[in-house]
A and B are shown apart, each in its own frame.
Chain A
């Protein structure tokens, strides 16, 4: 993640660059749902080059980046610092607690490939590191069947299943993923089935191709096969989105992706779940039609390289700790003849079927790395990470276990280990990011006193602490703040209590570190008060 050393006052938490003269707060702030998207008549399908993406991001550093002395605040954030519901993101578990049944259901768990009847194979590939099949079940639903590496049964299929559940609960659009077991006899070749052979050549598929493909995946003792059935995303698939810039043919895509809080914060989610392969080619834009409205919805796909899995094998201990290629680390290892040994090299990993390499001891939420640079991750600021950390901390132990269980691991030890490791990583994320800002939440006025919850104290990361206060008047039109003398307690000043409807006031709160300040903006509304906005410095 990009290191911005200079502590900078956050700018307004706004959706976009407001025009000069615009008020700080509009009457409809804080917005919790983005307005309905504009209709998109057509959008171009396009693939991207994974090689180009790697080199461009590694050496080209695309997008607008934070630099020392120049911090670019997140956009598409409401005045409370939250990402509103949009075509990218939906507030789910952390916003309104989901039941365990809802968490387990995820984006959907009722339409796995029909267990009875034949599945028509409509495409297959044996090229690449792992083979795959595209099937259509008896109801006409299409699925991509993905498999585990021969050396590591349950590894990639488990990761892909539970990864989709977690990312859905965290707020992203994901495909329906099902771990399934099937017999060879269930597969029949479709009339127009196409096969991409080991050389990448396409031709008509035959039964022998399926047999050949299945020789390259692990078989169960009874001869059946385990696979991950990923249901096709509905709508017209347009290809991946990028983590920088915007789609040029989408009128609703106005915020550069590297500035979006929901993509910057994805850094924290990816670090929690060790989704090191969070890159463009593991995303998908789809032109969907909902109630007559056509718009582009953005998905995260393919979580086979999350947790301890690297899809085709267990993760290298290097994954998640350094980029695939990193000049600084490589130079240290080269010139010290390998005597340079960072902490992650000594991490402990168990040998449990389906788990691969995931651990919590050496995990450092601030030093976690995806496989290569991601512009949004590079821009992740402490306030972005704090936003995401709250979502991570919303998951209780039993909820994590329930989600891990959806991976259908054959060894109970796998569920135990993954659950405990994710709990430990969650706690590290909370402890780390709750210390980078003053983590005050849940502001409300009770008996003429402004109350809040200090998340660091509530989670016992630190003992209770004292806070200093300063109340101010706030001119919403000009943004000017003027301190109210001698008003330095949580109690609302008398002038606030007697203020006219629509008047704004601000309370600056800080604890032991004066650089970490929270400013709460209140709006008088009838007989009560509304929290209009929150700013944080770090």
Chain B
């Protein structure tokens, strides 16, 4: 070999010698295999698991971003989260969250989603909320934009939710709990306070609040392929809940919630028609009424997206949405949507007359097919609204 090198390239007489000459040349210039500075720093960043520590936390403690009601502003707070207890069968979570608009939420949850070989589930949740700037435009479908006010909603609740999963797609269960509610003046200086401009005859419960025992049953059928960003299947759910006013005995009522979602894919699921219809009907006990803070609402980022948050309150509501979703690339879908809905005072008025409508376009960003952020622009007779949300609409 040394002889060959000494002879130099000019005396190469075989292909093997030519290859060997290239190797000798390279051997004389060997350097350690290194990453570029930028790649090394990216790799160090990855290996430091900083993002994991932010999203998953250290010692179970992690920052919790968002999760409060729409309109609360940017929300942040500490959360203690463990999903590795009892071999993954027990999830414990507790958090305190604060928003830029001084909304507060404290909660504690114990979840057992996979008991009895995935046949039984149980969820215990205790929560205290203090939302100081809840919008209220007055009762009914004809409320005016100029009637905007705000109020403080403060409640403390403890609930359980348990049931069975007879087959994978079906959940049947019961709920029960207790909730103590308080409302008061809102803190938005630009708005009138709800208790000061609406009276109890218009807005039941605005004068005095009460405490409630609540319980009911629910059923759900869920065949969606991927709940984080469904492209096919359906998700039907219904719940019937009785609220018993244990203090004032003026606001006992029953509430029926039904929601139907259908996902109709075509072109190999790169295009999806997503349909949703939901309705809430309430039935007050004789001589009693449904307090406004438990009334269903339409308008905002989840339905009627061309209207402001909490735009319409009443005892009952119906809302429908159709979206045409089309994939742009692996991490982004676009959506053209149309919303319709209304609130109404009596269940007997359940019909499709006089629906409010909005339409718009949205962007859905996803990671591994789960939507983590959406931007929706909605348009209606009341103008345009832009929503930036860290969830999927449905």
Listed in ascending order, the chain A residues whose CB lies under 8 Å from chain B are: 15-16, 18-19, 21-22, 26-29, 31, 34-35, 37-38, 43-44, 46-49, 51-52, 56, 78, 127, 129, 197-201, 208, 211-212, 215-216, 238, 246-254, 312-313, 316-318, 322, 324-326, 329-330, 333-334, 337-338, 341, 344-347, 349, 357
Q: Mind listing 5 A-B residue pairs with CB under 8 Å?
A: A215-B89, A254-B26, A318-B270, A334-B328, A347-B268
- Bound together, the chains give a CA A208 to CA B271 distance in angstroms of 42
Most buried by A among B31, B83, B328: B328
**A318-B327 CB under 8 A given contacts A51-B46, A199-B52:** yes
Asked if B286 CB lies within 8 Å of chain A CBs, one says: no
Contact yes or no, A44 B32, CB < 8 A = yes
Contact yes or no, A127 B329, CB < 8 A = no
Given the complex, which residues of B lie within 8 Å of A357, measured CB to CB? 268
How many Å from the CB of B343 to the closest CB on chain A? 32
Of the residues B24, B25, B33, B324, contact of A249 by C-beta under 8 Å: B33
Contact yes or no, B10 A254, CB < 8 A = no
Contact yes or no, A22 B12, CB < 8 A = yes
Listed in ascending order, the chain B residues whose CB lies under 8 Å from chain A are: 9-10, 12-16, 18-20, 22-27, 30-35, 38-39, 42-43, 46, 49, 52-53, 56-58, 83-84, 87-89, 114, 267-271, 324, 326-332, 334, 336, 368-369
Contact yes or no, A48 B30, CB < 8 A = no
- Bound together, the chains give a CA A325 to CA B57 distance in angstroms of 31
Contact yes or no, B19 A15, CB < 8 A = yes
Of the residues A22, A129, A201, A251, contact of B49 by C-beta under 8 Å: A201
**A212-B84 CB under 8 A given contacts A254-B23, A338-B334:** yes
Main secondary structure of the interface of A (DSSP, over half): loop
Given the complex, which residues of B lie within 8 Å of A27, measured CB to CB? 13-14
**A330-B19 CB under 8 A given contacts A212-B88, A317-B270:** no
Residue of B nearest to A43 (CB): B33
Most buried by B among A31, A37, A329: A31
How many Å from the CB of B19 to the closest CB on chain A? 6
Residue of A nearest to B326 (CB): A338
How many Å from the CB of A56 to the closest CB on chain B? 8
Contact yes or no, A316 B330, CB < 8 A = yes
Contact yes or no, B326 A337, CB < 8 A = yes
Residue of B nearest to A76 (CB): B19
Of the residues A16, A21, A48, contact of B19 by C-beta under 8 Å: A16
Given the complex, which residues of B lie within 8 Å of A127, measured CB to CB? 52
Given the complex, which residues of A lie within 8 Å of B24, measured CB to CB? 251
- Bound together, the chains give a CA A325 to CA B331 distance in angstroms of 8
Contact yes or no, B38 A26, CB < 8 A = no
Given contacts A200-B56, A341-B271, 15 further A-B contacts (CB under 8 A): A16-B18, A28-B15, A31-B16, A38-B23, A47-B43, A48-B35, A49-B43, A212-B84, A249-B32, A251-B30, A253-B26, A316-B330, A318-B270, A337-B326, A338-B270
Contact yes or no, A199 B88, CB < 8 A = no
Given the complex, which residues of B lie within 8 Å of A249, measured CB to CB? 30-33
Given the complex, which residues of B lie within 8 Å of A345, measured CB to CB? 267-268, 270-271
Residue of A nearest to B38 (CB): A52
- Bound together, the chains give a CA A10 to CA B20 distance in angstroms of 25
Contact yes or no, A198 B16, CB < 8 A = no
Contact yes or no, A31 B15, CB < 8 A = yes
Contact yes or no, A215 B56, CB < 8 A = no
- Bound together, the chains give a CA A396 to CA B342 distance in angstroms of 65
Contact yes or no, B329 A325, CB < 8 A = yes
Given the complex, which residues of A lie within 8 Å of B89, measured CB to CB? 215
- Bound together, the chains give a CA A252 to CA B25 distance in angstroms of 10
How many Å from the CB of A108 to the closest CB on chain B? 28
- Bound together, the chains give a CA A419 to CA B363 distance in angstroms of 40
Residue of A nearest to B57 (CB): A199
How many Å from the CB of B117 to the closest CB on chain A? 10
- Bound together, the chains give a CA A256 to CA B384 distance in angstroms of 56
Contact yes or no, A312 B88, CB < 8 A = no
Residue of B nearest to A29 (CB): B15
- Bound together, the chains give a CA A56 to CA B269 distance in angstroms of 30
Contact yes or no, A251 B15, CB < 8 A = no
Nearest 6 pairs of A and B residues by beta carbon: A338-B326, A199-B56, A251-B27, A211-B87, A317-B268, A200-B49
Given the complex, which residues of A lie within 8 Å of B16, measured CB to CB? 28, 31, 35
Given the complex, which residues of B lie within 8 Å of A43, measured CB to CB? 33
Contact yes or no, B329 A49, CB < 8 A = no
**A251-B43 CB under 8 A given contacts A35-B19, A318-B327:** no
Given the complex, which residues of A lie within 8 Å of B271, measured CB to CB? 338, 341, 345
- Bound together, the chains give a CA A201 to CA B52 distance in angstroms of 9
- Bound together, the chains give a CA A487 to CA B282 distance in angstroms of 98
Contact yes or no, A324 B330, CB < 8 A = yes
**A325-B330 CB under 8 A given contacts A26-B14, A212-B88:** yes
**A198-B35 CB under 8 A given contacts A27-B14, A51-B46, A212-B84:** no
Contact yes or no, B27 A349, CB < 8 A = no
Given the complex, which residues of A lie within 8 Å of B327, measured CB to CB? 318, 333, 338
Contact yes or no, B326 A333, CB < 8 A = yes
- Bound together, the chains give a CA A268 to CA B84 distance in angstroms of 44
How many Å from the CB of A44 to the closest CB on chain B? 5
**A26-B334 CB under 8 A given contacts A44-B32, A52-B39:** no
Of the residues A38, A51, A334, contact of B27 by C-beta under 8 Å: A38
How many Å from the CB of B327 to the closest CB on chain A? 7
**A346-B38 CB under 8 A given contacts A215-B88, A330-B328, A334-B334:** no
Residue of A nearest to B56 (CB): A199
How many Å from the CB of B314 to the closest CB on chain A? 35
